[in-house]
Structure 1
Amino acid sequence: MADLVEITDPADPRLADYRDLRDVELRKNLESEHGLFLAEGEKVVRRALEAGFAARSFLMAPRWLDGLSDLLEQSDAPCYVVPEAMAEEVTGFHVHRGALASLHRRTLPTVDEVLAGARSVLVLEDVVDHTNVGAIFRCGAALGFDAVLLAPRCADPLYRRSVKVGMGAVFSMPWTRLPDWYGALETVAAAGFTTVALTLADDATEIEETVAGVDKVALVLGSEGHGLSARWEESAQRRAIIPMSAGIDSLNVAAATAVACYVAARR
């Protein structure tokens, strides 16, 4: 069972994993160096542990102990119990969901391991907003997609904000990073997938028509600002567009993912 450790000093070094959670660059360095990530909220913490991620520690206000008592009974990691005001001082934001956990990262699987047995996958190029990455994972999981591949510069799916917005979908959805940006789509195609780029290109066809009859599909989505690079747009086997009206030509990448996943899942 987890040891319950009451802490009254916000500068206590045992709280280092939880410090300055709003500083993205600082967190990237700390989490990479120590091989950790943070889960926030009872549901997300529970899903992380149920998915088999090992806890380093927990940080909770007293009123949240009962709700997670069953998980704490199964863990050997310490649980730091702090007043809610102090939790906000340490983390830099109001921890309104009451519970945080620091967990060990795992070694990422290979692309071949992620694609094995998959029929529908998402491939992301330079999606750098953590909220969008989390929402994309949630859309993919909800609509029956099997895996996600990320280009090297995509935001971290295990960053706290990504995990929170995705409601822990990153724990159940197989994913990894593509080691080679330039030839990534050729690698996916060689694994038997039809690569379909979401784009405004002149030769793009409506998404329903583009994915009709496709067995194994890889939906390819680009960055928030400029969309797909010329390299990825040209190397995709097919190009698709979501029909728009009212003079609007595109959606936010997470919204576009939801629409494209829904259409592709019904193919």
Structure 2
Amino acid sequence: MPQIKKITDLTAPELDLFSRYSESQLFHINEPKPGIFIAESPNVIERALNAGYEPLAVLIEEKQADGLIPKLFFAYPELPVYTAKFDLLINLTGFALTRGLLCAMKRKIMPSVAEICEGKHRIVVLENVMNPTNIGAIFRSAAALGMDAVLLTSGCSDPLYRRAARVSMGTVFQIPWTCFPKNADLSCGGLETLRSLGFQTAAMALKEDSVSIDDPKLLAAEKLAVILGTEGDGLASATIGGCDHTVMIPMAHGVDSLNVAAASAVAFWELTKNRKDLIS
């Protein structure tokens, strides 16, 4: 079991990873090797550990240490664990949302798009979705509703950022995902890559030629990539023009759009509702 060290001063160097680096700085901290991310809350951290992410250090509220440390980190006897009273830790930005537990974890080498797509039939593609709350909500819906994988363009928020992982309830560690290379986003070869892997592409956009999300052509596609765009502006025109289908969700009361996270859940449900392996 890890040895626990008590912290009484927020300026302690042991807290550097948790309080003195931005998430972007942690992402790049070990370049060219994979960087670091901070996972928060017992549920999210447990799912990260189960997915094979390596813990580097833990910060936990003192009164929770005896219960959570043996449960989550028994297999890591050399893991540095730092504890402090809540009255001290509450001064760390965002600590009130962590349920008393933070864990610095090592990122993995990102798999290629081809590796992620192997054997998959229904995938999600996100273009420049920058809000981490939406990223987390989309991942949660994708995992729950039976999508097989998620691909992100380089303009998307990082799924391992704290808010994204928290909103996802840790499902960012349960569904396969990766990012397109910066020089190969959708308009620069990404769509061609998907086609070469056997996927039809469906852009979620409200256009005159849009078909409904329940169109038989979509449901019959052996491999389908559902592409959703950034908040507000939606998908780039070049992306829409390069896709095999343009798809919309029929709506009532004169409403013509949904938040990207809400739209994704509707689309995923429609495209996967006949899967036999979903829990009823």
TM-score category by the smaller chain? over 0.9
Deviates more, 1:186-195 or 1:157-166: 186-195
Instruction: Provide the identity percentage.
Output: 39
- CA deviations on 1:93-134 (whole Å, 9 max, x unpaired) are 424511111100001001110001111100000000001011
Aligned to 1:121: 123
Instruction: Give 1:158's match in structure 2, choosing from 157, 160, 166.
Output: 160
* 1:251 alignment partner, one of 246, 258, 266: 258
Which runs of no fewer than 5 residues in structure 2 stay unpaired? 275-280
CA contact 2:158–2:164 (8 Å) conserved in 1: yes
**1:46 corresponds to which residue?**
46
Q: Which runs of structure 1 show a deviation greater than 6 angstroms over 4 or more consecutive aligned residues? A: none
TM-aligned CA distance change 1:96 to 1:186, over 3 Å: closer
Residue 141 of structure 1: aligned partner: 143
- Over the aligned positions, Cα root-mean-square deviation in angstroms equals 1.4
The residue that corresponds to 2:278 in the other structure is none
SS at match of 1:57: strand
Cα pair 2:121 2:148 within 8 Å, conserved:
yes
> Cα offset for 1:223?
0.3
Is 1:230 the counterpart of 2:243? The answer is: no
Report the Cα offset of residue 90 of structure 1. Answer: 2.9
Provide, for residues 47-99 of structure 1, a one-character-per-residue CA deviation record: whole Å limited to 9, x for no partner: 11111110011110122220342222211211100111221223354245111
Q: What's 1:4 paired with? A: 4
Q: In the alignment, is the contact (CA less than 8 A) between 1:20 and 1:92 conserved in 2?
A: no
In the alignment, structure 1 segments of 5+ residues that lack a partner are none
- CA distance, structure 2, for counterparts of residue 184 and residue 94 of structure 1: 40
Asked if 1:14 is matched to 2:10, the reply is no
Tell me if 1:31 matches 2:38.
no
> Under a length normalisation based on structure 2, what TM-score does the superposition of the two structures give?
0.90
Task: Report the number of matched residues.
Answer: 263
Aligned partners of 1:74 and 1:58: how far apart in 2? 14
Aligned match of 2:70? 69
Q: Is the 8 A contact 1:135 1:254 kept in 2?
A: yes
Which shifted more, 98-107 or 68-77?
68-77
